[in-house]
Amino acid sequence: MSNIVASQIEIHHPYGGVVPEVASRQHVESINAAIAQALSQAQTDWDGIDGIAVTCAPGLVGSLLVGLTAAKTLAILYNKPLIGIHHLEGHIHASYLQNPDLTPPFLSLLVSGGHTSLIKVEGCGQYQTLGQTRDDAAGEAFDKVARLLDLGYPGGPAIDRIAKTGNPHAFLLPEGKISLPEGGFHPYDSSFSGLKTAVLRLVQTHQQQEIDLPVADLAASFQAIVAQALTRRTIDCALNYGLSTIAIGGGVAANSLLRSHLLRAAEKHHLQVLLPPLALCTDNAAMIACAGAEHLQRGHTSPLTLAALSRMPISQVMELYQQP
């Protein structure tokens, strides 16, 4: 009924990334106004609210605590059930908002500033992580490379824009594979740390030799290898697990090259790819409310002792709820 987003992009822009302390303080300043605006836009009051959903894991604890404290207070004040939400489960539910008829099982590719995961969605609260990043998340790599190329923050949209004018084959960059003890490579896990370091070395070499940095070519080459790596792992995973539908989410899901790569590759294998609108790719209230509504419908509510957790595998999501 409403989806208010209090963005902090401009506040963190000078730092080239999110500063946890600054983020927490800004949450405190913004949350009351955001709640009031949400109720106003929805044209309702607290009598029209069935429950209060709140992100409680994983993430920056300071920011999570602000939302969690507000949610608990409102739950007590208005006698509403509290529903703690795992952040990644929220991103998965962005696909349900856009595609109400979507039914599990399906494969979810979540690519954001903090996460790069391939998750088999088996049902509400039932998730199996099949692949993940071993170091930097894709969005984090975009931000760091954008900073190296002096493109500003957030890095994803900045690289996407300038890459359109560059040559994606100008530089041979490493895809980043995870070796297995028994030999070979992990089929679905990702690594972007080495790719980021390769870009750093190229930047340093150009600076030392006093050669102009071909920013557009570097951005295009970087973006192409990320899109290639994510697409290959996602398609292989879907085929090997017999999943005919792929739903993508998270901020990096807005990347134009990743979208086109996935659609093209999926078409070859007769797979369906669901792309949320750009507004639902980045963090938003609607996806958390959607996840909360499904859990509440199933009788899943959280205790008022619910804690903010910086880390929590999505496979443990049902630990957030009292069983009905």
What are the CA-CA distances from residue 273 to residues 177, 311, 317 (Å)?
24, 29, 25
Same fold, 9-90+282-320 and 104-278: yes
pTM of the model: 0.93
Class of the 9-90+282-320 domain? alpha beta
pLDDT, one tens digit for every residue, the chain (324 residues): 999 999 887 888 887 778 889 889 999 999 999 999 999 999 999 999 999 999 999 999 999 999 999 999 999 999 999 999 999 999 999 999 999 999 999 999 999 878 899 999 999 999 999 999 999 889 899 999 999 999 988 899 999 999 999 999 999 999 888 888 888 899 999 999 999 999 999 999 999 999 999 999 999 999 999 999 999 999 999 999 999 999 999 989 999 999 999 999 999 999 999 998 988 988 999 999 999 999 999 999 999 999 999 999 999 999 999 965
d(CA 4, CA 23): 17
Task: Compute CA 273 distance to the chain's CA centroid, rounded to the nearest angstrom.
Answer: 17
pLDDT of residue 178: 87
Query: What is the distance between the alpha carbons of residues 83 and 291, in angstroms, rounded to a whole number?
Result: 9
In CATH, what is the architecture of 104-278?
2-Layer Sandwich (3.30)
Single-letter amino acid, residue 319: E
Show me where the domains of the chain are located. Answer: 9-90+282-320, 104-278
